[in-house]
Structure 1
């Protein structure tokens, strides 16, 4: 059996992954240190600056309270918050988020741009890299503002706010996957896969798999990355098969079908138990936040003067860190098992282990996958089994019998 990598390729992959493994080990400690700095030193000056800046903006932009459109929005925010001060709350939350982003700027540039270019994994220009990072920061800023207003606004006005917020949010989570086809288009252009044999074969494969879909689209990620990728986005009437342009350049049609078959395996997974569990976990997390906010108000942490004081906002980041850090090994273990099952499904659907193996080998080479990552890295949060393990599980292709001596060799007509 052909080895996945040459010795030279393997040496480069190890050089590429070593900084990533160091980052994986060090990053939690760095993040905890940043949060400790914010909670121990910066909460009070950040809050004073936010109040001062909000007061100044309120005076300069007072005309917005009487303008036809902005007046309605501002009155809605006043009612949500229950009293003056929502401007300072938003600014404080954004300042905390911006400070964390600025601390990580060197790591973001090195791991997102320098390291990727050094090993030929990125096609980013400096300008596009900057623009995509700014898009991400803008989206995070919007989410942080909505969280600060929604969570703290409701908490200040309702006793069981965690239930009032948690149940509708949980329901939204159950249906949010229908929006998946549109999220990635914020960053990358998409176009329908052109009519031809490949689209026809994908359509026939999905018919055999009994997977309805809306469209097959090509995502033009080669402007930023050299990695190949395929995924399904959306649910039901919005389900879309997305192939990036790199996968179409690097793989043969049979190998593309193998990748699509693997993704189709995820469609048949029992998703509702996981979604319901995630929704219940969200409600439980909001209840824990409620207890934490009440404890903070009782103890007067960080200068808080009342329940749901925005100065406790960094505590939510700390709580979220521990929740996700402790749950990641468990959720990733389930994810790896789902990936194994999707591999088995794809092999059964296509009946072409040779193409499936070639797809995995090419993906490993193009994406520079470590065939044997450290065990602690896998357990800490790998969503996929190591590529070496996945290849070992692919059954050998049936050998073609040589024709008996003297008999003609039948060949398929060329096309």
Structure 2
């Protein structure tokens, strides 16, 4: 394969991926005005339904323009030898291959963040504000961005440094120790996410004693699930949208409820949501997800180890010698079709797991309250009740509201 052939193969993959996203989003937009199924016809009143329609169409237009903008930036970077100039800049700053790669990837990250910042600002302070979701102040928005940048550079820099040193020491056999290291990092982050990451952005407090806590503990004891760590998070600082999630393993496991969720749902509806989450634990869905994610990362590292030894890929981007950072860029493009297939598989099983967790909540508590909770949450977030089946099949990690209620 010639460098020129590989270069245009990269361009083809990027454009085909864009066209796939564009086409599926277009199909989905054609379903916006479809008749709402009877099972979910009571979610919106007339005024709320019109608002949800406007929200969906606004999101679609914004997403379409964002994708086009992103594609143009990527193509310009390719055709104007952006990778070559960035590589030369880092080589002029550093002599160490490790530092050169860290510099290169850090600049790619910073550039992406700078270009996406106006879009993120517009989405938060114009679109979300217009539809009554945004509660984020300008100060909080800036602080969140700074914190996420620092966290990404520190955590990402640490992980990349380890991978780079392993590559320098072991050559293309680096993938074995890298896989072990990434697996350990993933497990630790899953186990201690609420203790390590969440406090950087949010305030968490233990749920006060009262009816809600008593009933949650009573239900968890009934199903044999030790749940003493019940926390409330100040999600209302940023948005009116509600959520709840489980995190951690063993004694570290906890349920976190958004304060907005507690305000919008009654006690039985909240317990139904928690019963659904406990269902994921009881059915070992968390373990399965970690296991398959670990397999995926191992496969990616193994394939990457081969590509790093092929200088023709670096030549395709205008460079004379191969390097770890250029290998990652090339691999991320070449692997994207395989990644799409893996994502489809993950989404299929994720939707299956959601049905199983719903069924668990129905059997151990009451499906009626889960249906009520799902309808309220969908209404308050202006959810799309008529998504296109192909769009659901490709992108949705959860079944649609109609599908879940029909099963329940």
TM class, shorter-length: 0.7 to 0.9
Aligned residue in 2 for 1:96: 108
Q: For residue 370 of structure 1, give the secondary structure of its aligned residue in structure 2.
A: coil
Distance 1:33 1:95 in 2: 19
Given candidates 103, 110, 134, the residue that maps to 2:146 is: 134
Q: Deviation string for 1:244-298 (max 9, x for gaps)?
A: 1001111111111111111111111234344333222211111211222212367
Q: TM-score of the superposition, structure 2-length normalised?
A: 0.81
Q: Distance in 2 between matches of 1:93 and 1:279?
A: 23
- Give the 5 Å matches for 1:228-243: 228-243=242-257
Q: Tell me how far apart the structure 2 counterparts of residues 347 and 298 of structure 1 sit (CA, whole Å).
A: 53
Matched, 1:48 2:88: yes
* Match of residue 18 from structure 1: 57
Residue deviations 1:86-129 (CA, integer Å, cap 9, x gap): 33332221111111122222321222332111111111112211
Matched, 1:164 2:203: no
State the shift of 1:320 in Å: 5.8
173-182 or 334-343, which deviates more: 173-182
- Looking at structure 2, the residues matched to 318 and 275 of structure 1 have their Cα atoms a distance apart, in angstroms, of 24
Q: Secondary structure at the match of 1:294?
A: coil
Instruction: Name 1:308's counterpart in structure 2.
Output: 323
The answer to whether the 8 A contact 1:213-1:239 is kept is yes
2: CA distance between counterparts of 1:354 and 1:281?
A: 37
- Contact residue 344 and residue 395 of structure 2 kept, 8 A: yes
Partner Cα distance (1:168, 1:311) in 2: 22
**Residue 116 of structure 1 pairs with residue 128 of structure 2:** yes
Deviations 1:318-359 (Å, cap 9, x if unpaired)?
A: 346444434322211211111111111111111x33322221
- Check whether the contact 1:156–1:308 (CA below 8 A) recurs between aligned residues: no
User: For residues 48 and 163 of structure 1, do their structure 2 counterparts lie closer, same or farther at Cα, with a shift above 3 Å needed?
Assistant: same
Which moves more between the two structures, 202-211 or 104-113? 104-113
Which residue pairs with 1:66 in the alignment? none
Q: Determine the C-alpha separation between the residues in 1 that align with 2:97 and 2:378.
A: 53
- Secondary structure of the 1:217 match is strand
1:148·1:310 contact (CA, 8 Å) conserved in 2? no
Counterpart in the other structure of 1:7: 46
- Equivalents in 2 of 1:143, 1:36: separation in Å? 29
The residue that corresponds to 1:349 in the other structure is 364
**Distance between the aligned counterparts of 2:373 and 2:298, measured in 1?**
41
Q: Tell me the residue number matched to 1:199.
A: 213
Q: Distance in 1 between matches of 2:349 and 2:372?
A: 26
RMSD of aligned residue pairs (Cα, Å) = 2.5
Instruction: Go from structure 1 to structure 2 and tell me whether the alpha carbon gap of 1:299 and 1:205 turns closer, same or farther (over 3 Å shift).
Output: closer
Aligned partner of 1:413 in structure 2 is: none
Number of the residue aligned with 1:291: 306
Q: 2 CA distance for matches of 1:26 and 1:390?
A: 32
Structure 2 unaligned spans of 5+: 1-38
Seen in structure 2, the aligned counterparts of structure 1 residues 377 and 143 have a Cα distance that, compared at 3 Å, is: farther
Which deviates more from structure 2 when the two are superposed, residues 185-194 or residues 295-304?
295-304
Conserved 8 A contact 1:32-1:318: no
Change in 2 beyond 3 A, CA 1:362/1:298: closer
Residue 209 of structure 1: aligned partner: 223
Distance, in Å, in 1 between the alignment partners of 2:162 and 2:68 is 30
Structure 1, unaligned runs of 5 or more: 56-82, 395-415
Aligned length: 365
Shift of 1:195: 0.8
RCO comparison, higher one (Cα < 8 Å, 6+)? 2
2:398 is matched with 384
- Determine the C-alpha separation between the residues in 2 that align with 1:363 and 1:36: 40
The correspondence for 2:165, drawn from 153, 160, 175, is 153
Whole-Å Cα distance in 1 between the matches of residues 165 and 46 of structure 2? 58
What secondary structure is seen at the aligned counterpart in 1 of 2:239?
Answer: coil
- Could you tell me how far 1:25 is from its partner in structure 2? 6.1
Note if contact 1:93-1:148 (Cα within 8 Å) is conserved in structure 2.
no
Q: Deviations over 1:220-242 (max 9, x none)?
A: 01010101111111111100011
Q: Does 1:279 align with 2:318?
A: no
Written as runs of structure 1 = structure 2, the 5 A alignment for 1:63-102 is: 84-102=96-114
Q: Does the 8 A contact of 1:339 with 1:385 survive in 2?
A: yes
More deviation, 36-45/224-233: 36-45
Q: Are residues 1:329 and 2:344 paired? A: yes
Q: Name the TM-score, length of structure 1 as normaliser.
A: 0.80
Distance, in Å, in 1 between the alignment partners of 2:283 and 2:124 is 32
